[in-house]
Amino acid sequence: MAAKTTLNAKNLEALGAPRLAELLIEISTGSAANKRRLRMELAGNHSSAEVAREVRKRLASIGRSRTFINWRKVKGLKTDLETQRKTIVDVVARDDPKEALELIWQFLALADPVFERSDDGSGSIIESFHDACADAGAIAKSSGVEKDALADKIFAAVLNNGYGQYDPLIAVTAPALGRDGLERLKVLLGQWSKEPEDKIAESDRRVIGWSSNGPIYEDQVYGNHQELLVRIALQEIADAQGDVDAYIAQQPEKTRRSPLVATDIARRLLSAGRAAEALETLDAIDERGHADTPVEWQLARTEVLEALGRADEAQTDRWKWFEQSLNDAHLRAFIRRLPDFDDMEAEEKAFAYAQAFPEFHRALTFFLRWPAVGEAARLVLKRKTELDGDLYELMTAAADALAQKHPLAATIVLRSMIDFTLDKARSSRNRYAAQHLATCASLAPHVDDFGSVETHGAYVAGLKGRHGKKHGFWSLIT
Listed in sequence order, the DSSP H helices in 210-258 are 218-222, 225-241, 244-249, 253-256
| pLDDT for the residue 349 | 98
| pLDDT of 4 higher than 80 | no
Calpha distance 75→82 (Å, rounded): 11
| pLDDT for the residue 32 | 62
| pLDDT of 452 higher than 80 | yes
Listed in sequence order, the DSSP H helices in 65-92 are 71-87
Which amino acid is located at 144 in the chain? G
Which has the higher per-residue pLDDT, 130 or 15?
130
Contacts of 66 (CB under 8 A, 6+ apart): 117
| pLDDT for the residue 205 | 55
| pLDDT of 388 higher than 80 | yes
Through-space distance between the first and last CA atoms of the chain, rounded to whole angstroms:
43
| pLDDT of 135 higher than 60 | yes
Which residue, 49, 141, 135, 143, is CA-closest to 89? 135
Least confident of 4-8, 201-205, 277-281, 343-347: 201-205
Q: Are 402 and 410 in contact (CB under 8 A)?
A: yes
Calpha distance 59→43 (Å, rounded): 16
| pLDDT for the residue 120 | 76
Q: What average pLDDT does the chain have?
A: 89
Which has the higher per-residue pLDDT, 184 or 289?
184
Which residue, 98, 106, 6, is CA-closest to 59? 106
Contacts of 90 (CB under 8 A, 6+ apart): none
∠ Cα 105 111 113 (to 5°)? 120
Least confident of 92-101, 120-129, 238-247, 459-468: 120-129
Q: Are 115 and 125 in contact (CB under 8 A)?
A: yes
| pLDDT of 201 higher than 60 | no
**Cβ neighbour number for residue 166 with a 10 Å cutoff:** 23
Percentage of residues of the chain with pLDDT beyond 90: 75
Which residue, 361, 287, 357, is CA-closest to 324? 357
**Cβ neighbour number for residue 460 with a 10 Å cutoff:** 16
Least confident of 208-222, 223-237, 269-283: 208-222
Residue 54 to residues 39, 66, 83, 237, 295: CA-CA distances in angstroms?
8, 21, 12, 36, 50
Mean pLDDT of the region 170-175 = 97
Residue 154 to residues 138, 160, 182, 185, 186: CA-CA distances in angstroms?
14, 10, 10, 8, 11
- CATH annotation of 256-356: 1.25.40
pLDDT tens figures, 310-353: 999 999 999 999 999 999 999 999 999 999 889 999 999 999 99
Mean pLDDT of the region 154-160 = 95
pLDDT tens figures, 22-42: 666 667 666 666 666 666 565
Mean pLDDT of the region 233-247 = 97
| Helix, strand, coil tally for the chain in percent (to 5) | 70, 0, 25
> Is beta strand 207-211 parallel, antiparallel or unpaired with respect to 214-217?
antiparallel
Least confident of 46-50, 159-163, 178-182, 280-284: 46-50
Mean pLDDT of the region 349-374 = 98
Confidence of residue 286 (pLDDT cuts 50, 70, 90): confident
Which has the higher per-residue pLDDT, 10 or 33?
10
Mean pLDDT of the region 361-376 = 98
Calpha distance 357→353 (Å, rounded): 6
Dihedral (Cα; 246, 249, 250, 255), 10-degree rounding: 140
| pLDDT of 366 higher than 50 | yes
Confidence of residue 1 (pLDDT cuts 50, 70, 90): very low
Where is 49: in which H helix or E strand?
Answer: helix 48-64
Confidence of residue 43 (pLDDT cuts 50, 70, 90): low
Percentage of residues of the chain with pLDDT beyond 70: 85
Dihedral (Cα; 45, 49, 52, 56), 10-degree rounding: -130
| pLDDT of 370 higher than 50 | yes
Calpha distance 173→470 (Å, rounded): 62
| pLDDT of 199 higher than 60 | no
Domain ranges in the chain are 256-356, 357-478
Burial level of 16, CB count in 10 A (0-12/13-18/19+)? Answer: exposed
Mean pLDDT of the region 345-367 = 98
Least confident of 38-52, 80-94, 353-367: 38-52
Contacts of 47 (CB under 8 A, 6+ apart): 95
Q: Are 183 and 243 in contact (CB under 8 A)?
A: no
Q: What pTM was estimated for this model as a whole?
A: 0.78
Which has the higher per-residue pLDDT, 420 or 286?
420
Mean pLDDT of the region 352-381 = 98
| pLDDT of 20 higher than 70 | no
- Backbone φ/ψ region at 68: left (φ over 0), alpha (ψ -120 to 50), beta: beta
DSSP 352-407: HHHHT-S-HHHHHHHHHHTT-HHHHHHHHHHSGGG--TT-HHHHHHHHHHHTTT-H
Beta bridge pairs of residue 210: 215
Confidence of residue 356 (pLDDT cuts 50, 70, 90): very high
| pLDDT of 230 higher than 70 | yes
| pLDDT for the residue 31 | 62
- Exposure string of 106-139, with b = 16+ CB inside 10 Å and e = fewer, is bbbebbeebbeebebeeeebbebbbbbbbbbbbb
Confidence of residue 253 (pLDDT cuts 50, 70, 90): confident
Residue 62, classed as helix, strand or coil, is: helix
How does DSSP classify residue 202? Answer: G
Where is 211: in which H helix or E strand?
Answer: strand 207-211
